[in-house]
Structure 1
């Protein structure tokens, strides 16, 4: 007997498949993370992240212009300082590398893209933690919030449109929002890294920022075993004034991403982190997978799970592919 229902009719040609596609990605839904290194005299490859660079200010400007030309929606800036101390002074110094880089990018591309900055202390502390330490060596949550408030004001003054709250301290969104509003900076957006897990996939990133981490971050980042907790953190951040909430990493946490997307009244983003990037690049370099197809499939999966935008180190490249298609 001939089947009555034939789902394959909807797959018979590229034109039909394109017309009925349930998930689409636009270049404007991509955010490019970028690293700028203090004292650099030119761009330098990051060994564990093939194709990703430590920028100096000139190459950072050029890469920002290239991303904007490709249609990328946002740039997330990370600073790699030459000197670190216990409280991360470089993060609040107007002449610190991240704030200098933010001014440079803002002058180069202005409002053509959303300029975002990482608001966290880990790149700037000599112990590598995301906050200041108490006498017993633990991360002092409330003392750290005071540092975040100062960082927020410095980054806003430098020209950041959106602050990426990645430290996973309790109350960080409310503390930063209060500081910005009191300073008359109600215009500055807050991206809360709400469901940020204590993942094994951050290794290459820590190479990229030359992390001095001692120990681990399990007392403040989420347990990979916990699903409901990710949704709870996002709900709290929305209540504290987050404009966007995020799940990080992306591919190992698509269930959490779907949960947060169903619950959140604000946009939900996901970060395709360094380990996700490095695994694909390594497999592709060995000829085990089709690089372009895998990259596009990975971004599509994150979008399909509910992400309104994706932070990915392939942002400029993927944007070019999408525009060409």
Structure 2
């Protein structure tokens, strides 16, 4: 009875992944509190909306990256795939295709890159690091070759709607005839991020593909012996990561209202950082979309707060690098425990 009572008490204790998620959330709250003292403009509605907008791209990338990391892999190509997807959409729009179908083609181009990653990893038995590193170079090279390394502009106002549109925007006309913005509105990308995060969490937690992703990352051989199609599961995860990189490209290029083939450099590291900070284990088998969202906002708040404090971009990279190393160290310590 005593042993059973001990087990029942221990069952109420939070798991290691839950503790990691709680610590990440506390870190986010502490960052917000700290930056609110360094700049009076930090804790304002407008700045909060700015953080939401800036975090949306990294958040979308982190959702796909989390799925890949849970399988025990890594995707270094998402930044370059983001740029290639934007280039595909921009060139198709220039050819006369409407914006929505053009963006769909851009997302499909991203999914195709992810599908190739999955095939190379599963069929050619090349490690994810090398396979996706190769795709990173290939996708960037194609994007630069197709555009001659020049931006694609004059894509029309409709192209900028996804990245710059808002819900619930309130504008009041003043006596002098000029409009005054009362509430800037909730950015479309932020709403899109929430929708995609909910879908991603549902797939991971409630659907068979999610269970397969976790089982492959926990023990690939055991998953194979239990009937899981390991190759198909990995290909699905990398295709989803590529598609979300393509969607991120649509959001980013739409915000700029110009396609930049050089965009997305180092974004893969931000996505990996967000996933790991949020509790995803680089050993595989552990991770969550909610944790990755917390990690994404930690990265977004860090960048925003440091920018408002006048910190140079180089120092920001150093700080985020230290945060990533700390998160990986905590992950290794958790795995040992």
Taking structure 2 as the reference length, the TM-score comes to 0.27
Greater Rg over alpha carbons, structure: 2
Greater length-normalized contact order (CA 8 Å, ≥ 6 residues apart): 2
TM-score, normalised to structure 1's length?
Answer: 0.27
Bigger share in helix: 2
Higher strand share goes to which structure? 1
